[in-house]
Amino acid sequence: MGSIDGATGAEGVHVKKILVALAAAGLSLSGVLAASPAAGAPPGAEHAPPAPAPQWTQCEGLPTGVECTKIEVPLDYRRPKGEKIKIAVSRRKATDTAHYQGVILFNPGGPGGSGLAYPAVMQTRLGPTLAAQYDLIGFDPRGVGSSEPSLSCDPHFADPVRPDYVPANITEELAWAQRSRNYAEACGRIYGDLLKNMTTADAANDMDQIRKALGQEQISYVGYSYGTYLGATYATLFPNRVRRLVLDSIVNPSRVWYEANIDQNHAFEGRAKDFFAWIAQYDSTYHLGTTGDEVEKAFYAARAKLKDTPAEGRVGPDEFDDTYLAGGYLKSRWPLLANALSRYLTAGEAAPLLAAYGTYGDSSGDDNTFAVYSAVECSDASWPRDWPRWHRDMWQSYRAAPFLSWGNAWFNAQCAFWPVRTAHEQRIDGRFVKNALFFQDTKDGATPYEGGVEMHRRFPNSRLVVMDGGGNHGLTGRGNACVDDAWKAYLTDGTLPASRPGPDLHCEPFADPVPPARAAAMNATPTQIDDWVPGER
């Protein structure tokens, strides 16, 4: 696509041309911002003064019985008596006092996801008997949602219609790079030194302040997606404070974060091809082709059409990409997404596509999640600061995995210009954790399978439960008996699957969905959509 895509000759000449173009565009990365090191929160911070007992009130907008409070924590754990920020915490208290098991914290991922609703969500997923034995604790990590301050750098950054993710030439690529640079600079202007204290290690220290405020010697923890990296960081820093640890859909601790995003590109490409092949099975319903290749061509034809004429001036190629990325997280969404694509291409109807975008792809008007995502990932680890490296890697990724590569590049490119550089990359070490239970799908797009294997290796007392070929992101609490029996047994009394070489337990995948019309003809139950997805951007 365009002259950039591997068509410029020798690599040295190619890089030189990019550097010349960067200079002409004012995008030389050296000295682009006055980069200062991230603080890198120290473990423990046991010298921090004890917080007063929290005062709980009914949470606004959440079911009766879910209480909320805010806990003051140090902005900088190296200066525990200095400036404070507030972490929003929610709770549903245990009702089975005879079998009380303490507190269990939940994190939905992101980074940037709000966890305040999780006591209500998890009461249902755990079931009444098990949920009654714990104080169910949700929280908004620092910078998120109801915590103070709540970050936002540019509330209009995601407004439609944005420039095409896939650059047609070097000018378009550098324009997107400039857009990312502007976002990073806005974050630096607004938040300054706060950005030095937005690492995962800082959030893990906040979790320990929550533990103290709740009067607990230990916590149990269930984390999803990015929440697995947060949980693993907490367990590394505070291994003796961990009672039970569940990590579901696991970040690869060896690939944080630049490489992890490239890994995602290839994993989501596989999920996209599975989606196209599934649509082809139901050509009599969707009329988009009888093979996956034919459906894939139809998909990219729709994208090109939307680039020429965005649907209702709102859904262009980027918004289309964001909408269909949702199908890579959960295959139960495939019928709705396939119907929207079919109606747009075969009948010229934009309404189903606009509805799908509103449900799955629209992130305009609320910059908080993206701002926190950026603040955490950009300062957690080292990112390439030379654009030729990004240019080379992203075009290489795109040639093999066009579905996500450039969209993912621009979701992260602000890290090339971030005003904070990491001073310390946290190494995950689970050797001192007494037990843990991990869940991973072999075809997960957002957190590819290798992450579960690597985290299992780093926690030698863990067990790894693998769903073979399901492709879902977030496995526990969705009704798969094999998965949920292991999950609930562990949280009930610490029972773990027997230890075996490799994965310790294999589970059958969730069934593929069936289009509603076909299900009705077969007198079958239509696929129910469970749209709770951890860590979905």
450 exposed, middle or buried (CB, 10 Å; 0-12, 13-18, 19+)?
A: middle
- Catalytic residue list contains 473: yes
Closest C-alpha to 480, from 438, 511, 451, 505:
511
From the candidates 332, 393, 473, 484, which is the catalytic residue? 473
- Catalytic residue list contains 114: no
Q: Phi and psi dihedrals of 224, rounded to 5?
A: -120, 140
- Angle between helical axes of 170-191 and 405-412 (0-180°, round to 10): 30
- Angle between helical axes of 258-281 and 387-400 (0-180°, round to 10): 20
The two three-digit tokens of residue 515, written as one number: 């289009």
**Secondary structure, 3-state, 227-244:** HHHHHHHHHHHCHHHEEE
From the candidates 146, 180, 225, 342, which is the catalytic residue? 225
The secondary structure of residue 300, as a DSSP letter, is H
d(CA 512, CA 36): 49
**Secondary structure, 3-state, 243-288:** EEEEEEEECCCCCCCHHHHHHHHHHHHHHHHHHHHHHHHCHHHHCC
From the candidates 135, 441, 444, 504, which is the catalytic residue? 444
The two three-digit tokens of residue 368, written as one number: 């908080």
- Catalytic residue list contains 444: yes
d(CA 33, CA 512): 48
Residues paired with 467 in a beta bridge: 441, 507
Query: Cβ contacts of residue 481 below 8 Å, gap of 6+?
Result: none
d(CA 188, CA 164): 26
d(CA 256, CA 232): 13
Question: SS3 helix, strand, coil % of the chain, rounded to 5?
Answer: 45, 15, 40
User: In sequence order, which ranges of 127-218 are alpha helices (DSSP H)?
Assistant: 128-131, 170-191, 200-213
- Catalytic center residues: 225, 444, 473
